[in-house]
Structure 1
């Protein structure tokens, strides 16, 4: 795995958070282009290897993008991906329902190629005792996202330097068919604005995962950050 050391640390945190038969909810947060999806998928694979194939599941936040027509009506289509362009209320309700452990639950997915949400496209089985969420705003302390505070048992925040994010995001938009000029504009005027929001206004995570210039990821616990600051 590309993030073997990080995944091992996260697995240790998750196993330590297990208590009785209740679910363990994990948040993998970070700015767009940080590598959240890859890390979260690797974590779920590792957890399944340790605890059983059906024991861990992944729930992406992206399925809660508001539809383009709704965004157009609200005048928000140009800033799609910003905190206010998601159905925050519905996402918070899903996390709460998963926490209550009410059997099988369906949730939406986002099709990036079609640029649309697919309602009830995935099912979280009742057998999944560890649920890994990934998304930009899971730890955001602003607006309706703040209602997620305290809902997760283990939290991780990926921090990547803005120049690295910019290069990744421009490449992403080029892959989706945008011209170089449009890709640069989309990354700079929208994605990086959202990245700063995530990095500046997210709650402290149990694990801060900071990308280094050599491609490695430095791991710092919340306690280590407090001790260093004090």
Structure 2
């Protein structure tokens, strides 16, 4: 069994043995630093769950809660976009809390990477969904208001590759976006790896910790 299949199996087993709270959806958080593969894993988990029972699972990424570039410019935060303080953390916590209730249809924002902007209400959790997979870098941060998420999630997963693996993956990512090797190195060692170190050093323990070791695309 390859690494990604093993990780998927471990998370699906966690989902299976996690109980939801009365009249509420089962909330699963998948956290990890940039380049850890959390988005790919979360997408695979939702796809596997929906293959078993269509519509039962929905994916809610944290990236939809990026602050708009105009707000970042006013606050002087545009150069560090992607750091914890460049997200609407309070809005994200409130939305996760809102999504817990079963049997309701709710919209949430998504992030358009090509346009580098948030799309309001572009995502939808249907009323039939009973499992929500929330993914993002900062789901387990110990600092408020991020720390409030831990009590809203029924089970959590933390992807925790070595710093060296993260560096390799992030450089590969920027090269795949058309940057030269030197430009990719500088880009990775800017916000990405600073934020990765922050996640690795300041996240609370998860119910399941995975340690990817391969240099697979993320």
Q: TM-score, normalised by structure 2?
A: 0.91
Q: Where do residues 12-31 of structure 1 align in structure 2 (5 Å cutoff)?
A: 12-19=13-20, 21-31=23-33
Unaligned runs of 5+ in 2: none
Q: Distance in 1 between matches of 2:13 and 2:165?
A: 29
Q: Where do residues 101-112 of structure 1 align in structure 2 (5 Å cutoff)?
A: 101=102, 103-112=104-113
Q: Distance in 2 between matches of 1:74 and 1:93?
A: 23
Q: Distance in 2 between matches of 1:140 and 1:25?
A: 17
SS for the counterpart of 1:203 is coil
Q: Deviations over 1:91-121 (max 9, x none)?
A: 0010000113471111111111111111111
**1:18 shift after superposition:** 3.1
State the match for 1:195 in structure 2. Answer: 196
Q: Where do residues 63-102 of structure 1 align in structure 2 (5 Å cutoff)?
A: 63-101=64-102
- Any conservation in 1 of the 2:3–2:212 contact (CA below 8 Å)? no
- Any conservation in 1 of the 2:165–2:214 contact (CA below 8 Å)? no
Q: Deviations over 1:21-67 (max 9, x none)?
A: 531000010000110111011111121233x1100111111011111
Aligned residues: 214
State the match for 1:36 in structure 2. Answer: 38
Q: Distance in 2 between matches of 1:113 and 1:214?
A: 24
- Any conservation in 1 of the 2:23–2:102 contact (CA below 8 Å)? no
Q: Distance in 2 between matches of 1:41 and 1:209?
A: 16
State the match for 1:218 in structure 2. Answer: none
**1:179 shift after superposition:** 4.6
Q: Distance in 1 between matches of 2:6 and 2:155?
A: 17
State the match for 1:176 in structure 2. Answer: 177
Which of the pair has the greater relative contact order for Cα pairs under 8 Å at 6+ separation? 2
- Any conservation in 2 of the 1:113–1:176 contact (CA below 8 Å)? no
**1:213 shift after superposition:** 5.8
SS for the counterpart of 2:59 is strand
**Does the alignment pair 1:46 with 2:48?**
yes
Q: TM-score, normalised by structure 1?
A: 0.86
Unaligned runs of 5+ in 1: 216-230
Q: Distance in 2 between matches of 1:149 and 1:185?
A: 34
